[in-house]
Amino acid sequence: MTRVLDVARRVARPLRRRLRPTASERRLADLGIRPGDLALDCGANVGTVTEALARLGAEVHAFEPNPHAYEELERRVGSLPNVHLHPVAVLDRDEGVRLYFHRNSASDEVAWSVGSSLVPTKGNVDPDRYIEVRGIDLGRFVLDLECSVKVAKIDVEGVEHIVVHRLIDSGAIDRIETVLVEVHDAHMPMLREDTRRLVERLRAEGLERKVRLDWS
């Protein structure tokens, strides 16, 4: 019975979302994404945004370092021909890093995977529970692509500032039309100064309309 219900939910999900798109789905649709456009979902988690981008026809590269979320991501969208999955963390460099789990993750690894972070001082992670994951230089990844990127969504639980600065420093930002970033100042007060500096840089370099810090 459980398997039948799971199948029914997967079949019903696309129809339900076409009839009642979420605010995020409406915002993505407003970007004018067309079949074949390239999109990046950094911090894909279980694939909600990845699936929405793929449904719009985009060629999607989805990055997710949490193995529990990645397993669900792979199950959900791994068979789609226009989705490419990467079990890595996006950073400003290629190196191994620690991914810290949410303090409640032992009760439900998938549900609490959204709270995992590369930042050990993030208030809701357990600094004693972590795994080693591979990090990649997102700027280099973008520069190595054969075409430009229509949209990059970056929600990586505390290291967004580092990633965006790297995109600018490397020149990769010029190959991306729109960057949607979720900053986490409300739950991570130590990031407020980083956000202020990033806002100042975006304003000084005329990138405020390209890099939008209001994704949620």
> What value does the mean pLDDT take over residues 125-152?
97
Range among 24-33, 81-90, 183-192 with highest mean pLDDT value: 81-90
User: What tens digit of pLDDT does each residue of 103-132 get?
Assistant: 999 999 999 999 999 999 998 999 999 999
Neighbours of 208 (CB within 10 A): 13
Q: What are phi and psi of 33, to 5 degrees?
A: -65, 135
Three-point CA angle 49, 30, 117, nearest 5°: 30
User: What tens digit of pLDDT does each residue of 86-97 get?
Assistant: 999 999 999 999
31: tokens are: 């970007």
216: tokens are: 């949620």
Closest alpha carbon to 166 in 137, 145, 205, 135: 137
| Strand bridging mode 176-181 / 149-154 | parallel
What sections of 78-159 are H helices per DSSP?
138-144
Question: 207: burial class by Cβ within 10 Å (0-12, 13-18, 19+)?
Answer: middle
pLDDT of 80 strictly over 90: yes
Distance CA 44, CA 152 (A): 11
Give pTM, 2 decimals.
0.89
Ordered structural domains, the chain, with CATH:
23-91+138-212 (3.40.50.150)
pLDDT band (50, 70, 90) for residue 25: confident
